[in-house]
Amino acid sequence: MKRYYIIYEGIVQGVGFRWRLMMYAKQLNLSGWCRNLDNGNVECAVQGKDVDKFLKLSTKSERFAKIFNWSVKEIPLEPHESDFTVRF
């Protein structure tokens, strides 16, 4: 099991991107959170067995969301976290 902290850059706000992240996380049985940043990016912390699959799915541009760049850092696990949420 791993935990990643990810920053997504591109057209990622106002296009349903955070909700898409939550859908992927729930499909893969991952926990964590995501939220918009003031600079137009989205940050995310996600943990579980399939975080690499989550990263692959989440960095693909789609109809409205366009990912130009992302950064990933492995961070310590949160043992009591059990769900994935969208933070505001």
Distance in angstroms (rounded) separating the CA atoms of residues 47 and 63: 26
Q: Could you tell me if 78 and 29 are in contact, meaning their C-beta atoms sit under 8 angstroms apart?
A: no
Give the residue numbers marked as catalytic: 18, 36
Helix (H, G, I), strand (E, B) or coil at 47: strand
Return the residue matching tokens 């492995």: 74
Q: Could you tell me if 25 and 31 are in contact, meaning their C-beta atoms sit under 8 angstroms apart?
A: yes
